[in-house]
Amino acid sequence: MMEPLPGASLQKACRLLVIFCALHLVVTMVYYLAGRDLDIFQYFTENQQSQHDWKNASTTPAAEPHVCPETSPLLVGPLNIEFSNPVDLEETKKENPAVRDGGRHTPKDCQALQKVAVIIPFRHRDKHLKYWLYYLHPILQRQQLDYGVYVINQDGEETFNRAKLMNVGFAEALKDYDYDCFVFSDVDLIPMDDRNIYKCNSQPRHLSVSVDKLGFRLPYQQLFGGVTALSKDQFQKINGFPNNYWGWGGEDDDISNRIRYNKMSISRPNAIIGKYRMIQHFRDAKNEPNPQRFDRIAHTKETMNSDGLNSLSYEVLKTEKYPLYTIITVNIGLPKSIS
Ligand code: BGC
């Protein structure tokens, strides 16, 4: 036998190596391409999936915000109220950026428990209104209320009629929003504690329990003046407030009678939480004590079903929405004896 040439076996070995390398390359390529295809496929399906999710996100309604807690965590308790520095409403607006035009506010982190219209009977008390807006907007926001501020301005210089203006406020606020609670406030009363919540209760509520001007005590149990809160149902049940109390006094006693005759009672915060400061002022012109008030109060039972919301007539002269409040100027007519 002939000895194989050493060069020939080397050649064979090299050929085998080349074949092996080529095979390796082919296998690697196949796996590489198969892997890429798989990735592309995955990318494609993932992309479809995410488009699907996006579509879902746009059609699924956003989760309802949770209901605000019964006691707001933002409350601070007793407040320092004083009236020595004048109020600049532009500054006040800047300090309350979450208050919308017309004096509206809705809590952003939770769904308010009640929709509250704050009604302020008004005439020529611009300075007092500024203090009221300055102090009350931060308080009402900390109380996490969905609220609006309505100033009901009596047109002309005839005798003032507080209760009729409040009836107008009830009717007009309801045209603006679906309120379920109405807080009626004198323009010169500022709460000294933000735990005194401007909200309605299972019974009509008297909020201004202990006013500085009245020696921080309740003069009599049936008092229902100053700041009060009635739900829409409670207000309608008593046929609203009387329309025929012109001048100072008595109308709040009539409302108190209406509450009692309709088998409801007055609820109140305690005397600490119910503290108020009243802005000092002289009695307004054309708001002298009403001499007829004692006689009228004695007849609430007979008059309440025919005098009130169901006999209310007035004419809106102007509605203006300012950044911190809505002011509605109304012609409420004249006292019966001179009309
Ligand atoms: C009047 C009320 C008034 C109260 C407290 C009463 O005599 O009739 O209208 O709110 O005194 O001043």
Return averaged pLDDT per consecutive 10 residues of the chain, 339 residues in all: 52 67 57 36 30 39 83 98 97 98 97 98 97 98 98 97 98 98 98 98 98 97 98 98 97 98 98 97 87 97 98 98 98 80
CA of 327 to the centre of ligand 1 (A): 26
**8 A C-beta contact, residue 113 and residue 83:** no
Residue 249 near ligand 1, beta carbon < 6 Å: yes
User: Is 63 part of a structural domain of the chain?
Assistant: no
Would you state the pLDDT for residue 281?
83
Residue 250 near ligand 1, beta carbon < 6 Å: yes
Total domains, the chain: 1
User: Is 155 part of a structural domain of the chain?
Assistant: yes
Which of 184, 253, 294 to probe ligand 1 with, by most ligand atoms within 8 A of CB? 253
Residue owning tokens 């919308």: 100
CATH number where 117 lies: 3.90.550.10
C-alpha dist (Å) from residue 307 to 217, 255, 304: 31, 12, 5
DSSP 223-266: ---SEEEEEHHHHHHTTSS-S---SBSSHHHHHHHHHHHTT---
User: Is 199 part of a structural domain of the chain?
Assistant: yes
Residue 254 near ligand 1, beta carbon < 6 Å: no
User: Is 300 part of a structural domain of the chain?
Assistant: yes
Would you state the pLDDT for residue 10?
61
**8 A C-beta contact, residue 91 and residue 156:** no
User: Is 139 part of a structural domain of the chain?
Assistant: yes
Q: Catalytic residue at 123? A: no
User: Is 85 part of a structural domain of the chain?
Assistant: no
Would you state the pLDDT for residue 303?
97
Domain carrying residue 313: 98-331
Q: Catalytic residue at 284? A: no
Would you state the pLDDT for residue 123?
97
User: Is 87 part of a structural domain of the chain?
Assistant: no
312 vs 334: CA distance, rounded Å: 13
Encode pLDDT of 57-96 as tens digits.
444 566 677 999 999 999 999 999 999 999 999 999 999 9
Q: In 3-state terms, what secondary structure has residue 210?
A: strand
Residue 307 near ligand 1, beta carbon < 6 Å: no
User: Is 180 part of a structural domain of the chain?
Assistant: yes
CA of 249 to the centre of ligand 1 (A): 5
